[in-house]
Structure 1
Amino acid sequence: MRKWILLIPLVVLVSGCSQVGGNGYTAGDIRGINHMPYVINSMNVNGFGGPNMGAYGEGGGYCCILLPDKWSPGLKARVEWEVDPNTASEFPGYKHREEYLKWEKEVKASFRKHRAVVDIPEYGEERCGIKVHFLPCNEIKVTTICDGYGTSKYPIKEPREMKEPAQCPK
């Protein structure tokens, strides 16, 4: 009898850990593709951290974003990111600490933070986390499709390397 009294709470505790995501949500990776010549220092989607990316680079495999098991109209992604526009003066080296510290402040002051809220396109049973594409004029597009960028079924067709126009639309 005493064994059963100890076993019941253990079974209840362990059973609560059996679902990944759970409560109508599934966890997936956060990935990014940077179509711009700037470094993206950091990004997050709905508060979940994602990768940094070099100019025209990509990154990902960061866990996790929670997506509802069933898509519904009005489902949004809030994306925040920080860009290094590479406008700071040339790196002075480490030899003269005061010059280096001044340069470091200049670099950090040049970083630009952005945010956008975009619709998450309709998905079905198959979804593979979220991929965020960073485009000119601080625009972004997202997809949950499992196919890779550049494949025929992939919905985002913008070229990999893009340039910022002389003037962005308002």
Structure 2
Amino acid sequence: MGVAGAPGVQGPAGPTGEKGDTGERGPVGEKGTPGVGTPESTLVAFSVARTTDLTASNSSGTVVTYDDVLSNVGGAYDMATGKFVTRAGGMYYFVFTGMTKVQYRLELKKNGEIMVSMYESYPGERQSSSNSAILQLETGDQVWVELQMGEYTLLSNDNRYLTFSGFLINPA
């Protein structure tokens, strides 16, 4: 017998054979890390009103508190403090109103910083205004309406002329 020669060119593939039997099941894998649970609802919306007048302090700004909760879905508005405290970050819309017969200066504040404000002064005539803002908020941010110190008075009664509302537009 002589020496084996070099391999030749591979020929064409043959026809596919029949499917074989299922093999044995492999061993159980390691247990994974726990999941994050059910996601919280991202529906956040509140609307509150004040049914009594409010006179500003002469020494510091006064957080406007509201005594009538029209809605508070998500529970982020705190009636005791008058502040909205973000539980879910995202883009929010806020609107607030004021009314007086004297004058007033209201500010929408985020964590103590003025975002938008409004001022009315036309003594003797009732006047009403509103302002709004869209704010990017992080969890824990606080938003409120503040009556600035001075000779300022807001008017309201059971007709609810003073309001503050907000809702989540888009979660972070």
Q: TM-score, normalised by structure 2?
A: 0.30
Q: Which has the larger radius of gyration?
A: 2
TM-score of the superposed pair, with normalisation by structure 1: 0.30
Higher relative contact order (CA 8 A, sep 6+): 2
